[in-house]
Amino acid sequence: MRKTRTLLAALAVGILTSTAALAGDVRIMWYSDGVEGEVLKDLLDRFMKENPGINVVLDNVSYTVVREQLPVQLEAGDGPDIARVTNLKAMSQHWLDLRPLVADAAYWDTNFGAQADWMRPDGSNQISGFMTQITLAGGFANKTLFDQAGIALPGKDATWDDWARASKQVAESQQVPFAMALDRSGHRLSGPILAYGSNYIGADGKPAPLDDGAKAFIEKFVGWVGDGTMSKDVWVSAAGSTYRAGADDFINGQLAYYYSGSWQVPNFSTKIGSNFDWVATGSPCGPANCTGMTGGAGLVAVKYTKNPTEVAKVMDYLAREDIVKEFSERTLFLPAHKGVVEKGLDFKTDDAQAKAALNIFVGATGSLSDIARKLPGWFWSDTYYAALVTRVSQAAAGEMPVAEAYTRIDADIAAKVKDSGR
């Protein structure tokens, strides 16, 4: 097994240049949902002019590379110097402790402390990095399609059934391929599952078996895929736990309703433009609540770096209040920096739809359930998400009955827990 892992690591390292070998070099593995890669490059160019002894190399890669290749590199004791990742807690043993390296640890604790536990080993006070943005899952409606169909947008407390019914009427009226789509993601699926009253976290802190709330929504979701209400393409076009978004279908006007999250706002602002009117809707309600899922991408330092001092300087720069503010305003991201949030932002867009959508997401943070707030810092979240995606997609594709998918999900998670030795 170790030999196989080493070979995989060698392959991954061959695909991407890994840890910086030259003194003063800092290599960042970065993925983008929208324009944030361009903004970061501009900020880093300015950093290098101010710090001519440090050369920062920005590797723009796909999210799939971060999810699938980076963990293999890290297991081999390799990787970039800094990485933008979402699987923060489960890989926290690989992050560098910046506390003794940054210029002012108290500044980090004050401004990024609320999410610090999401990315550090349990029980430690490590500074691993900071969140590039806070995200919130939620829906988007193609208002133009609803208006053309003469169907009113469901209201603030509308349920998942309400949105499914209305969206299907719109799709049939306007002859678009699918009424709804939900990203092929365990994180995205978890919002409605929690709204149906589920709790993944057992009394011992380890994963609990699927409960009735989870089974109720999964059965409903698979049924929607089967009757054409929910886009089948998004969920059956990939294997295993591979992520696939439905954003392109929404951007192209092929969906009445799309469940994704706040990170799509800059993407839609740039790519939809004036093609049609769209609105953010918050998360539909289930029997228990109207929660979405919070989370975000963190920028973390990797402990296998050969240049920790230079890495800390780059991280200090990117975490500066003025830099976080500029990055957030230009990318239309919701910042994690306490000082920036308290002083407010002036998002750099003339798109009234984008500004309205951001405000909807800010307001929706009040609807998050306690479990939704806990999951980003729970060690087993990604294990749960991966099992959900793999088996629910198989059920959606007709490869197994829903009841078998439940059994497989529980078995997959139990195997991961056993193999971990935790």
Residue 6: inside a domain: no
Rg (CA), the chain: 21
Residue 153: inside a domain: yes
Verify that 144 and 246 share a domain, yes or no: yes
Per-residue pLDDT, 311: 98
Residue 11: inside a domain: no
Residue 16: inside a domain: no
Query: 311 in the Ramachandran plot: left (φ > 0), alpha (ψ -120 to 50) or beta?
Result: alpha
Give the Cα separation of 387 and 298 in Å (integer).
23
Q: Map residue 289 onto helix, strand or coil.
A: coil
Per-residue pLDDT, 5: 44
At 210, which CATH number? Answer: 3.40.190.10
Structure tokens at 415: 């195997």
Verify that 141 and 196 share a domain, yes or no: yes
Per-residue pLDDT, 422: 83
Verify that 203 and 287 share a domain, yes or no: yes
Query: 123 in the Ramachandran plot: left (φ > 0), alpha (ψ -120 to 50) or beta?
Result: left
Q: Map residue 303 onto helix, strand or coil.
A: coil
Q: Map residue 215 onto helix, strand or coil.
A: helix
Last residue of a domain, one of 343, 360, 380: 343
pTM exceeds 0.85, yes or no: no
Residue 118: inside a domain: yes
Residue 127: inside a domain: yes
379 closest CA partner among 123, 130, 78, 140: 123
Verify that 250 and 207 share a domain, yes or no: yes
Give the Cα separation of 66 and 70 in Å (integer).
5
Per-residue pLDDT, 22: 60
Residue 85: inside a domain: yes
Verify that 314 and 233 share a domain, yes or no: no
What's the CA dihedral at 9, 10, 12, 13 to 10 degrees?
110
Last residue of a domain, one of 277, 312, 343: 343
Give the Cα separation of 101 and 98 in Å (integer).
5
Last residue of a domain, one of 343, 371, 406: 343
Verify that 171 and 128 share a domain, yes or no: no
- Which residue is associated with the tokens 């093609």? 275
The DSSP bridge pattern shows strands 129-142 and 294-301 to be antiparallel
Verify that 220 and 334 share a domain, yes or no: no
Torsions phi, psi of 400, nearest 5? -155, 155
Verify that 255 and 317 share a domain, yes or no: no
Verify that 253 and 326 share a domain, yes or no: no
Verify that 38 and 58 share a domain, yes or no: yes
Give the Cα separation of 71 and 78 in Å (integer).
10
Residue 15: inside a domain: no
Verify that 186 and 140 share a domain, yes or no: yes
Verify that 60 and 139 share a domain, yes or no: no
297 closest CA partner among 321, 268, 331: 331
- Which residue is associated with the tokens 């050369």? 55
User: Which residue range(s) make up the domain with 128?
Assistant: 25-134+295-343
- Total domains in the chain come to 2
Q: Which pLDDT tens digits describe the chain residue by residue (422 residues)?
A: 444 444 444 444 444 444 444 667 999 999 998 889 999 999 999 999 999 999 999 999 999 999 999 999 999 999 999 999 998 998 999 999 999 999 999 999 999 998 999 999 989 999 999 999 999 999 999 999 999 999 999 998 999 999 999 999 999 999 999 999 999 999 999 999 999 999 999 999 999 999 999 999 999 999 999 999 999 999 998 888 889 999 999 999 999 999 999 999 988 998 998 999 999 999 999 999 999 999 999 999 999 999 999 999 999 999 999 999 999 999 999 899 999 988 988 888 899 999 999 989 888 888 899 999 999 989 999 999 999 999 999 999 999 999 999 999 999 999 999 998 88
